[in-house]
Amino acid sequence: MSTRRNDPLAQVSDFDIRLLRIFRSVVESGGFSAAESALGIGRSAISQQMSDLEQRLGLRLCQRGRAGFSLTEEGREVYQSSLQLLSALESFRTEVNGLHRHLRGELNIGLTDNLVTLPHMRITHALSHLKERGPDVLINIRMIAPNEVEQGVLDGSLHVGVVPQASALSGLEYQALYSERSLLYCAVGHPLFYADDAQLDDERLAVQEAISPTFRLPGEIQAHYQSLKCTASASDREGMAFLILTGRYIGYLPDHYASLWVQQGRLRALRPTARFYDLSLVTVTRKGRRPHLVLESFLESLAATR
pLDDT level of residue 147 (50, 70, 90 thresholds)? confident
- Could you read off the pLDDT of 155-186 as tens digits, one per residue? 999 999 998 888 888 899 999 888 889 999 99
| Residue 244 belongs to domain with CATH number | 3.40.190.290
Please check whether residue 122 lies inside any domain of the structure: no
Q: Is residue 123 part of a domain?
A: no
pLDDT value at position 271? 94
**For residue 113, is it within any domain?**
no
Three-state SS sequence of the chain: CCCCCCCCCCCCCHHHHHHHHHHHHHHHHCCHHHHHHHHCCCHHHHHHHHHHHHHHHCCCCEECCCCCCEECHHHHHHHHHHHHHHHHHHHHHHHHHHHCCCCCCEEEEEECCCCCCCCCCHHHHHHHHHHHHCCCCEEEEEECCHHHHHHHHHHCCCCEEEEECCCCCCCEEEEEEEEEEEEEEEECCCHHHHCCHHHCCHHHHHCCEEEEECCCCCHHHHHHHHCCEEEEEECCHHHHHHHHCCCCCEEEEEHHHHHHHHHCCCEEECCCCCCEEEEEEEEEEECCCCCCHHHHHHHHHHHHCC
Q: What is the pLDDT of residues 193-205, one digit of tens each?
A: 999 888 899 999 9
Regarding predicted confidence, which is higher, 68 or 253?
253
Q: 254 in a domain, yes or no?
A: yes
Give 3 or 207, the one with higher predicted confidence. 207
At 241-264, the pLDDT tens digits run: 999 999 999 999 999 999 999 999
- Residue 233 domain boundaries: 178-280
pLDDT tier for residue 2 given thresholds of 50, 70 and 90:
very low
The answer to whether residue 1 scores a pLDDT higher than 50 is: no
Split into its structural domains, the chain has a count of 2
Quote the pLDDT of residue 7.
60
Quickly state the pLDDT bin for 32 (edges 50, 70, 90).
confident
Q: Between 187 and 1, where is the model more confident?
A: 187
The pLDDT score that the predictor gives to residue 153 is 94
Looking at residue 33, what is its pLDDT? 86
Q: What is the CATH number of the domain that holds 70?
A: 1.10.10.10
